[in-house]
Structure 1
Amino acid sequence: MAFQPIVALVPGGTAIFAYEALVRGAQGEPASHVLAQVGPDNRYAFDQRCRVQAIEQAAALGLGGTEASLSINFMPNAVYEPQACIRASLEAARRVSLPRERLIFEFTEGEAMADPAHLLNILSTYRATGFRTAIDDFGSGWSGLNLLAMFQPDIVKLDMGLLRGADTDAARRIILRHTVAMCRDLSIQVVAEGVETEGELQVLRELGVTLFQGYLFARPGFNALPVPSPLPR
């Protein structure tokens, strides 16, 4: 696994809100290399192994000594029975003394609507268990608003393509302003992911976003919990 921090803006600087666990090959190969080897026959085992690996590895790197949460990507189409699928995650969290409320499970907007009833059952079970949930890449597809109407996750992660160049693109700023306001009204936290420039950061701060992820703060660290760069002034 590689880990990338999600940074919260706090008075006087930044704090680490969470680390996202990103799958990598044994030699650091990118996620695309690993996911290309995942098919229907090994999807369930892969999903389960990634969850446990993320929890155990983050704990070994010292996550438990911080207040940061751990965000884990999961594959809704790999989950057959939610209660059964979370047992290994709960057991791994118990072994490393990581409270379940510090676990966030995120899925992409594109995966969300393949089987809406199945997904809603998963999300409801996770919430009842004490996990938090997040929609990743929000704004990259066409199903996001329908999903929010059916289920309000704890966190929405704005797709980097939506915020890229927002400091020079009025249309993007308008869309972002209304998206952030909508999430605020629904009591959903917003993470701006893929932030790369100080201009993007400034616009997002003006719109009320306080959680950020991207190269401007830190790149993913292979088998490491990176420390974010100081907040640009």
Structure 2
Amino acid sequence: MAFQPILDIVTQRPFAFEALVRGSNGESAATVLSSVTSENRYAFDQQCRVAAIEGAVAAGILETDAKLSINFLPNAVYSPLACIQLTLKTARATKFPTERLIFEFTENEEMTDTEHVKTIIESYTKMGFGTAIDDFGAGHAGLGLLAKFQTDYIKLDMELIRGIEQSMPRRMIVEGVVRIARSLGITVIAEGVETTAEYTVLKELGIRYIQGYLLARPGFMSLPASSFFDDRNTRAA
């Protein structure tokens, strides 16, 4: 696993670290995911959860108060209660507090069984986990999905973020999503932030949690620090 921080621009500290799958020699997520099939999807999903928790603990996440965000495959969860047992066992073994876990999902293909996903979300919420819709605003992860169930977080897709300082439509869309999310009690995270101009607009729109190369690149088997706020504070001084 590689880990990328989601930074809180108010406290200027990591709010969470997202676990990103990598090959044992650092191969990209796309390379690893290309080998996932319907036959091995469940085992892969389970192994990713274990690797994320064990890797984050080994990297020092217990020395922080940051959450750990793990991507999961809804189609790999045949029963929320049964499929979470290995995750719980791993958390106990590593002494990682389960209330600091966030499970985020995204679907490149349209979900035909949204009731199943809703059941997973509701079950995870009852267990005390955070939940998130990743890549919100891309593909089928949009307002229609949000109308069917609400997660604790939505992560704005980078296509909505890219060049937002030069695009009034993007700005208005993000502003609208932030307003809707706030009304629903959902926290917005902006991902894929790469420029100071993008960051500035997102801050103006009231987004508190930011993730992207501007702040820190993923660290392979490590929790990367960010010098972004230090640099800005130094310039301001």
TM-score (structure 2 length as normaliser): 0.94
SS in 2 for 1:135: strand
Task: Show the counterpart of 1:122.
Answer: 120
Task: Show the counterpart of 2:198.
Answer: 200
Letter aligned with residue 5 of structure 2:
P
Task: Show the counterpart of 2:75.
Answer: 77
Residue 143 of structure 1 and its aligned partner are, at CA, apart by 4.6
Residue 9 of structure 1 and its aligned partner are, at CA, apart by 1.0
Alpha-carbon spacing, 1:210–1:190, altered in 2? closer, same or farther (3 Å): same
Q: Is the 8 A contact 1:112 1:147 kept in 2?
A: no
SS in 2 for 1:41: coil
Task: Show the counterpart of 2:156.
Answer: 158
RMSD between aligned alpha carbons? 1.2
Alignment of 1:131-170 (within 5 A): 131-170=129-168
Where does the alignment leave 5 or more consecutive residues of structure 2 unmatched? 233-237
Q: How many residues align?
A: 231
Q: Is the 8 A contact 2:110 2:140 kept in 1?
A: no
Alignment of 1:35-184 (within 5 A): 35-110=33-108, 113-184=111-182
Task: Show the counterpart of 1:4.
Answer: 4
Task: Show the counterpart of 2:228.
Answer: 230
Residue 145 of structure 1 and its aligned partner are, at CA, apart by 1.2
Alpha-carbon spacing, 1:180–1:57, altered in 2? closer, same or farther (3 Å): same
SS in 2 for 1:10: coil
Residue 142 of structure 1 and its aligned partner are, at CA, apart by 3.9
Q: Is the 8 A contact 1:2 1:24 kept in 2?
A: yes
CA deviation string 1:81-123 (max 9, x = no partner): 1111000111111111111110000001545723101111111
Where does the alignment leave 5 or more consecutive residues of structure 1 unmatched? none
Residue 172 of structure 1 and its aligned partner are, at CA, apart by 0.7
Residue 60 of structure 1 and its aligned partner are, at CA, apart by 1.0
TM-score (structure 1 length as normaliser): 0.96
| Identity percentage of aligned residues | 56
Q: Is the 8 A contact 1:163 1:172 kept in 2?
A: yes
* 4+ residue segments displaced more than 3 Å: 109-112
SS in 1 for 2:16: strand
- Are residue 19 (structure 1) and residue 17 (structure 2) matched? yes
SS in 1 for 2:3: strand
Alpha-carbon spacing, 1:34–1:142, altered in 2? closer, same or farther (3 Å): closer
Distance 1:102 1:142 in 2: 28
Point out the more displaced range, 212-221 or 110-119.
110-119
